[in-house]
Structure 1
Amino acid sequence: MTYQQALDYIHAVHWQGHRPGLERIRTLCGLLGDPQKDLRFVHVAGTNGKGSTAAMLDSCLRQAGYKVGLFTSPYILRFNERIQVDGAPIPDQDLVDLVEQVQPAAAAMAAVPTEFELITALGLLYFARTRCDIVVLEVGLGGALDSTNVIDPPECAVITALGMDHVRELGPTLADIAAAKAGIIKPGSPVVSYGGQPEADRVIAAAAAARGAPLTVVDFSRLHPVSASLEGQTFDFDGLDGLSLPLLGSYQPNNAAVAITALRALRARGWDIPDSAIRQGLARVRWPGRFELLRHDPPFILDGSHNAHGMRATADSLRRQFPGQKFVFITSIMADKDSDEMLRLLLPLARSFVTVTAPSPRAIPAQELAGRICALGGQARAAGSIPQAVALADALAAGGPVAALGTLYFSGEVRRAVCPGSGTK
C-alpha cells in the first residue's frame, strides 16, 4: 500500500447513512486490542478555541518533559498533522502500516466505520505504539457521541468556549450543545470549563455533579492583558505574570487561561508540571491558521474562524491589531453556517470582499456568496481559484491589509498562494 492509497482508503467513507454513536468505534478498537486503554488523556471539547487550547496543553506538557500525543482536526497542509507525537506529525510509512492494520479489522465489522472513526483508531494505535505518556485528544464534533469518547475517564476533561454551531447535529439551543459537550465528563475526572454562558454552565455543572467529577470554571477576573502587537502578546494570569504568547488573536489569552487551569488540575493529580514549563510552553506554542500573520508588509492575516461566535472574536482582534483600518477579505463559508451573521460582523471592517469556493462539498459557491455580500450592502467579486483570489485581493488592497477567513478548509491553499514553498498536500 502506498501513502496515497492509505489516504484514499481513509477518505472513502463519510457520515452519510451512519447513525451517530459509539458502537462502531468500540467494536473497531476492540478488534485492534483497545489501544486507548494503555493511554492517559486530556479530552478537549468546545465550539471555539479547542484546537488552540489543545496546542497549548501539548506544548506545555512537552516542556514538562512528557512524551505527548496530539490529536486534532482538520489539517492545514498535510493529513499527517492530525496525529502528532512530541510536535512531529506521524511519518508517512507509519500511517501506511497502521492503515494496513486497521483495514482488515474494519472490513470484519457489520457496520462500516466512518472516516473520523478510522482516523481516531489510527491515532490511538499510533499513540499506544509510540508509548505516549499522555495524549491531548480533541473532540471532532459534539462530545457524547464523538468517536474520541471511546476513552475511559481522562486525566482531565476540558470544555472551551461554547456557541451556536452544528445545531443540526447537536440541537437547536445552547443547552443542547452544552449537553453534547458535557458528554466527555466521566466519573471522578476533573473538569475545566470556560464558562460565561449561564444556560450552558448549568448543564455542565449538573453533568459534573451527577458523575462525581470536580468542576473548575476558569476565573477570567484573574486574567490581565499587558501588551499586544503583531509579534505576540503578554498577559498575567492567576499568579503567573509576564506570560508570553506568540498567537495573535485577542481571544488567545483566554484560551491560555483555560489551558493553565487544566494543567493545574493535572498537577493536582500528580503530574509534574512546574510553572516554568507552562511559561516556556506558552511562549513556544505554534498553531497555524488561527489569526496568523502570513506576511508583514503589506499585512496578510489567515484565520480559521468558521462560525458567528468565532467570527465575532476575529473581528475584535482585527480592530485591536489594526485600529481604524479597512480590509479586503478573502472569504469562503460553508453552507451549513450562519453566513449572513458572519458577514454582518465583517462588513464594518471591509473595504471589499473577494469570494472563493473552498475545497469542500459544503462550501457556498463563490458567485452565490458574492451575491449575498452585495445584498447585505457590501462590495464583492468572485474568484475562480484561491491563487486568483489572493492576487485580486492584493490588487484591491493596494498596500492595505488583507485577511482570509471563514473556513479552515482553504487555509492550506491560501498559505501556499501567499507563501510559495510552505508545504504540499
Structure 2
Amino acid sequence: MSTGINLGLERIFSLLELINNPHKRLSVIHIAGTNGKGSTSAYIDSILLQSGYKTGRFNSPHLLEPRDSIRINGLPISKEDFLKTSEIITNVNSTNNLESSPFEILTAISLYWFDKQQVDVSIVEVGLGGRLDATNVFDNVLSSIITSLGMDHTNFLGDNIESIAKEKAGIMKKNGNVIIAPQIEEKALDTLKRCAEEVGCAKILLVDGAKWEQERSGLASTKFLDNTYIKINIPLRGDIQLENSATAIFAIDLLRKTEKKFANITNKDIIVGIESTKWPGRLQWIDASILSNVLEFSVTSNLLIDGAHNPQAVKSLRTFIDKQYENKLIKIHWIFAATKGKNITEIFEILLNDNDLLTAVDFSQVEGMPWISCYDPKEIIKVARDVKENIDTFVAENLREALYHAYTKCNKEGGLVVLCGSLYFISDLFRLLQIDVYN
C-alpha cells in the first residue's frame, strides 16, 4: 500500500472493480472546493435526514479516527463494521498488488459500505483537488458542487487560482448539474463557468449568498431557485456559513425539482435540517468550565477553536473575531499548530496584531495519514517573528502546556484565547478535553 499522496484514478478503479463496482449503484452528490466542503455536506445531510432519507456521507480528513469519515444517517460507521469492511478492502488490495494509497482504501471502504447499506443518497467530499481525486469515479451524479476556492495544496494543484479551479472542475459531468458557490476570486468563477460549459453540464447554477437578518442570533435570509426567500437560523458561525448554507439549499431545491425521488422535501424540512446541523471544530466555543477541569485551575474565559488552515479560512476567522469584538483591538492569545507545506507567513500576516501572543506547539501523528507532518514549533515562532517582530511568543512541549500558558497569561492580561491552524490540532484538543463529537 502506498503511504503518500499519489493522485490518479487507475488504482481506485481497479480496486472498485474487484469489489463489484459499488460506485455504479449509488446516487451521489459530489462536493469539491477549498473551504466549506465539510459544512456544506453536513447541511445537505441534515436536510435529507430530516426529510426521511437514508444517507451516506464521506468527509475527509477524519476528525478523531478514520472511521468517522464514513457516516450513515449522520453517525460514524461502528468500529466493528469498519474493521470488517477495512479487512475486505485491504485484502483485495494486497492480494492483487494494487498498491492503493490509504485514502483510496478509505474511499473504497466508504463506497462499499454505502452500497451495502443501500443508502438513498451518498454525499461525497473530494479529498484533494477533484479531477484526479480518488472520489472522482462516478459516471453520473445528482449534482456536482464547487464550494469557495482559494490557494491551497499548490504543490499538487497549481500555483494560480485558474489551475486550482480547473482541477476542482474535474468532478463536473456531461449532462449533469453543477452548483457553484460564491467565489472571492473572479478568475475562479470565470474558470469554473467556462469548464462547466466545455464539459456540457445541463444546468449551471451560481449561488447567491444568503444575507444576515440578525447576525448575532444567526438568523439569515436565503434565496431559492425561483428567487423567493426563506429565513433560517444558521447554527454554524461565521460569514462563510452564509455561502455554505445557501449552497446546500440550492442543491436541495434543485434536487427536489428535478428528481421525483426527492420531490417530497418541504421548506420545513430545509429549515429544520439547516438549524439542526452540527459540524465540530469550526468557529466553535469551548466552555471555560471544561478547560478548568482539565487544567486544574480556574479559567475565566471560553476558548474559540477553528480548523482554519489556509489564508482564505483564516481571513474568515479574523473577520469573525473582529466582528465579535466590534473591531476593538482585543489581545489574542493564539495557540497554533500547522501542517508542513502551509503558507504560515501569509496566515500570520492575516491573523496577528502587534499586541497578540503566540504559543506554538505540534500535533500528534495522524492515524492513517503517514505523509502528514507538523511544522516544528520553533519554526512557527521564527516565521511569526518575521511577520511581527515584537510579538510575545512561547514554545510549548504539548497541548496541555500550551493551554496552561495561554490561560495563565489571559487570566492576568485579559483578551481571548484562540486555538487554530489545523483540523488535526483540533482533534488533539477534543481528545484532551474528552469531548464527544459524535453526538
TM-score (norm 2): 0.89
User: Are 2:239 and 1:236 aligned?
Assistant: no
Counterpart secondary structure, 2:82 = helix
Structure 2 CA distance, aligned partners of 1:281 and 1:420? 27
Structure 2 CA distance, aligned partners of 1:233 and 1:363? 35
Q: Aligned-residue CA RMSD in angstroms?
A: 1.8
* TM-superposition CA deviations, 1:8-50 (whole Å, max 9, x none): xxxx74226x4x2111000000000001111111000000111
Is the deviation greater in 281-290 or in 386-395?
Answer: 386-395
Match of residue 78 from structure 1:
65
Match of residue 383 from structure 2:
372
Match of residue 333 from structure 1:
338
* TM-superposition CA deviations, 1:61-86 (whole Å, max 9, x none): 11111101110011222322100010
Give 1:413 deviation, angstroms: 1.5
Match of residue 194 from structure 2:
206
Q: Is the 8 A contact 2:304 2:419 kept in 1?
A: yes
Structure 2 CA distance, aligned partners of 1:359 and 1:254? 32
Q: Residue type matched to 1:402 in 2?
A: V
Is the deviation greater in 52-61 or in 340-349?
Answer: 340-349
Q: Is the 8 A contact 1:358 1:410 kept in 2?
A: yes
**Residue 258 to residue 344, structure 1, CA distance change in 2 (3 Å):** same
Q: Is the 8 A contact 1:294 1:415 kept in 2?
A: no
Q: Is the 8 A contact 2:32 2:145 kept in 1?
A: yes
Structure 2 CA distance, aligned partners of 1:347 and 1:145? 36
Q: Is the 8 A contact 2:49 2:273 kept in 1?
A: yes
Q: Residue type matched to 2:48 in 1?
A: L
Give 1:366 deviation, angstroms: 0.9
Structure 1 CA distance, aligned partners of 2:68 and 2:357? 33
Q: Is the 8 A contact 1:327 1:349 kept in 2?
A: no
Structure 1 CA distance, aligned partners of 2:195 and 2:96? 33
Gaps of 5+ in 1: 1-11
Q: Is the 8 A contact 1:336 1:362 kept in 2?
A: no
Which residue, 147, 172, 181 being the options, matches 1:185? 172
User: Are 2:420 and 1:405 aligned?
Assistant: yes
- Segments of 4+ moved more than 6 angstroms: none
Q: Is the 8 A contact 2:337 2:362 kept in 1?
A: yes
TM-score (norm 1): 0.91
* TM-superposition CA deviations, 1:133-179 (whole Å, max 9, x none): 00110000000000000122210000000001111101111110000
Structure 2 CA distance, aligned partners of 1:421 and 1:346? 27
Q: Is the 8 A contact 2:63 2:69 kept in 1?
A: no
Give 1:97 deviation, angstroms: 1.1
Structure 2 CA distance, aligned partners of 1:423 and 1:148? 25
Q: Residue type matched to 1:369 in 2?
A: I
Q: Is the 8 A contact 1:416 1:423 kept in 2?
A: no
Q: Is the 8 A contact 1:328 1:350 kept in 2?
A: no
Give 1:252 deviation, angstroms: 0.9
User: Are 2:291 and 1:291 aligned?
Assistant: no
**Residue 96 to residue 294, structure 1, CA distance change in 2 (3 Å):** same
Counterpart secondary structure, 1:55 = helix
Question: Once the two structures are aligned, what percentage of the paired residues are identical?
Answer: 30
Structure 2 CA distance, aligned partners of 1:371 and 1:107? 44
Q: Is the 8 A contact 2:59 2:124 kept in 1?
A: yes
Give 1:374 deviation, angstroms: 2.1
Match of residue 7 from structure 1:
none
User: Are 2:362 and 1:357 aligned?
Assistant: yes
Match of residue 256 from structure 2:
267
Which residue, 170, 181, 185 being the options, matches 1:194? 181
Q: Is the 8 A contact 2:283 2:306 kept in 1?
A: yes
Which residue, 89, 93, 96 being the options, matches 1:109? 96
Structure 2 CA distance, aligned partners of 1:288 and 1:350? 29
**Residue 423 to residue 248, structure 1, CA distance change in 2 (3 Å):** closer
Q: Residue type matched to 1:388 in 2?
A: E
Structure 2 CA distance, aligned partners of 1:136 and 1:407? 23
Q: Is the 8 A contact 2:162 2:188 kept in 1?
A: yes
Instruction: State how 1:4-23 maps to structure 2 within 5 Å.
Output: 13-15=2-4, 18=6, 20-23=7-10
Match of residue 148 from structure 1:
135
Structure 2 CA distance, aligned partners of 1:107 and 1:171? 32
Q: Residue type matched to 2:244 in 1?
A: N
Structure 2 CA distance, aligned partners of 1:423 and 1:157? 28
Which residue, 298, 308, 311 being the options, matches 1:308? 311
Q: Is the 8 A contact 2:182 2:243 kept in 1?
A: no
Match of residue 343 from structure 1:
348
Gaps of 5+ in 2: 289-299, 366-371
Q: Is the 8 A contact 2:104 2:134 kept in 1?
A: yes
Match of residue 215 from structure 1:
204
Q: How many residues align?
A: 406
Counterpart secondary structure, 1:289 = coil
